[in-house]
Amino acid sequence: MSKIDKTTKIAKALTLNKKAPEIFFKYGLHCIGCALSAEETIEQGASAHGLSEKEITSLIKELNQ
């Protein structure tokens, strides 16, 4: 699996990790149906939904497991 980081587009992360939808949902991010997921990075989407830097770091860590 490729390394996912905060600059990875949400849509790309969804293709890189089959558990990504469930992980995003856990953090309150319902990215699967969002039109912005193709263009928005994980950091942009998470920040827009009020996640802290610490939460974003945890999200990235889970996406890379």
- pLDDT tier at 1, thresholds 50, 70, 90: low
Largest CA distance in the chain: 28
Residue-wise pLDDT tens digits, 5-62: 999 999 999 999 999 999 999 999 987 777 778 899 999 999 999 999 999 999 999 9
Per-residue pLDDT, 48: 92
Name the burial class of residue 56, with classes exposed (0-12), middle (13-18) and buried (19+) by CB atoms within 10 angstroms of its CB: middle
Per-residue pLDDT, 30: 86
Task: Report CA 51 to chain centroid distance, whole Å.
Answer: 11
Where in the chain are the domains? 10-64
Q: Confirm if 5 and 60 have CB atoms less than 8 A apart.
A: yes
Given a cut of 70, whether residue 64 has pLDDT beyond it is yes
Per-residue pLDDT, 12: 94
